[in-house]
């Protein structure tokens, strides 16, 4: 985890499941309560996510709104988001840099919103 003056970056490694997603939930909840913006979750090294993780991310999205930005989803998570349709709901960005540079109201999508549906 890295926190600067204007952003919080949380790097996830390994599996995210019911047994170990609580720290992420805590960090995201505290960020929402503290008004930190943006909050970037780097998912490039995540190897697995279960429904508990999806729930945590959806709750964080509700609490943080456009301040929550998911960056660099690993192939496994990108597939999960696509299959479940979460790629149209959660704010996904191709990289941490892109997530940090995005406008607060930037359209969603792994390509920064240039996607045509």
Predicted confidence (pLDDT) at residue 46 exceeds the cutoff of 80? yes
Mean pLDDT of 98-117: 58
The bridge status of strand 68-71 relative to strand 39-49 is parallel
The answer to whether residue 64 sits within a structural domain is yes
pLDDT tens, 65-94? Answer: 999 999 999 999 999 999 999 999 999 999
pLDDT on residue 103: 78
Full-model pTM: 0.83
Here the CATH number for the domain that contains residue 15 is: 3.30.750.24
**Does 117 reside within a domain?**
no
Q: Which residue range forms the structural domain that includes residue 57?
A: 2-101
**What is the dihedral sign for C-alpha 77, 19, 96, 58?**
positive
Residue 115 covered by a domain: no
Asked, for residue 109, whether it belongs to a domain, the answer is no
* Residue % of the chain over a pLDDT of 70: 84
What average pLDDT score do residues 25-53 get? 94
Q: Is residue 25 part of a domain?
A: yes
The answer to whether residue 116 sits within a structural domain is no
Q: How many domains does the chain have?
A: 1
Residue 106 above 90 pLDDT?
no
**What is the C-alpha to C-alpha distance for residues 117 and 36, in angstroms, rounded to an integer?**
31
User: Does residue 58 lie in a domain region?
Assistant: yes
Say if 107 falls within a structural domain.
no
Residue 5: pLDDT band (50, 70, 90) is low
């Amino acid at each position: 985890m890295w926190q600067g003056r204007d952003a919080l970056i949380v790097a996830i490694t390994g599996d995210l499941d019911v047994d170990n997603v609580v720290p992420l939930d805590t960090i995201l909840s505290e960020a929402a309560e503290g008004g930190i913006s943006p909050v970037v979750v780097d998912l490039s090294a995540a190897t697995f996510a279960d429904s508990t993780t999806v729930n945590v991310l959806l709750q964080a999205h509700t609490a943080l709104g456009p301040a929550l930005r998911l960056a660099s989803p690993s192939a496994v998570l990108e597939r999960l988001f696509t299959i479940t349709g979460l790629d149209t709901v959660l704010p996904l960005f191709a990289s941490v840099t892109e997530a940090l540079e995005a406008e607060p109201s930037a359209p969603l999508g792994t390509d920064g919103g240039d996607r045509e549906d």
